[in-house]
Amino acid sequence: MKVLASSSAAKKGSQFLWVLLLWLVQALAQQAHAAISVADDAGNVVTLASPAKRIISLSPHVTELIFAAGAGEHIIGTVNYSDYPLAAKTIPRVGDNLQLDIERIIAMKPDLLVVWMHGAFERQLEPLRKSGIPYYFSDPRKLAQIPETLLKLGSLFGTEKQAIVAANAFRQQLAQLSLRYQNKSPVRTFYQVWGQPIFTLNDKSIVSDVIRVCGGKNIFGHLSAAAPHLTTEAVVQENPELILSGDSESQGLSGIEQWKIFNTMLAVKNHNLVAIDADQLNRAGPRMIDGAKMVCEAMDNARRHREHRRPKP
């Protein structure tokens, strides 16, 4: 009888283990298929039933973020000027900053759009909203938001490991810059987006955050327009100590050249006219940390030039 009882108990124990194992498998399966939810830069909650595998990027900076987050191979469409990394150049185009091919985007059946809304984009996105395609709005305004965005995109794509590596690398470099320049003397800076006509950016822009991290002051940061239009006289009157110009490869002549004739301006007298690759400053992606390093170096040079011009006692 004892043998039979022991055998029966063992059988029940074995059945219990099988039930427990089955429950664990089902729980893991449910977890694997659980919905993914993140908040985008507009505060909207984006929810996907499963990781996105057919992604359309509607901005060059978005394309760079997606590649860095580990999902570049899943981009099925993007816009003109999405040229980094090299693999981005082969992705089919669905429009540009002025006009999107809405019908083509819908026909491609993406499971996620990653967008940067500006101007006409708001109007063009309306039919995409009605189509039911989920979209994530990306518009980082501070350098610290770039690694946050990488982590969120990694969650949406199921590429968390790659996204964590990229985010940590960016955070580490940003922390080093912030620590190095937090107590530096301010450098009054004018950032020129475009030279003819003259445009700059206010303090809500991520470029202004770069200037701040490096210990600078955006002299037109207080203006209400996101991209204020300026006169030459306004810039000369503000007398910046440093002028930064975001140049592109397509420019025949750097936009910084126009200021050399104003030799009474401090930036000209002290040789603080610096052109930087616009893609590393105007695109809110991982390469922006390299652009920030160049801005910080330009400000350090401006401080050194300041010291050299001081009259000797």
Q: What is the CATH number of the domain that holds 192?
A: 3.40.50.1980
Specify whether 188 is located in the same domain as 106. no
Q: Is residue 73 part of a domain?
A: yes
165, 198, 222 - which closes a domain: 165
Find the domain containing 257 and state its range: 184-309
Choose one of 133, 165, 197: the last residue of a domain.
Answer: 165
| Segment 134-153 mean pLDDT | 96
DSSP 93: B
Label residue 96 by pLDDT band (50, 70, 90): confident
User: Distance (Å, rounded) from C-alpha 193 to C-alpha 202?
Assistant: 11
172, amino acid identity: Q
Lowest-pLDDT choice from 25-34, 100-109, 124-133: 25-34
Residue 98 has what pLDDT? 77
Least confident range of 127-131, 272-276, 296-300: 127-131
Arithmetic mean of pLDDT, 12-20: 51
Handedness of CA 160, 117, 247, 297 (dihedral sign): negative
Are 203 and 271 in the same domain? yes
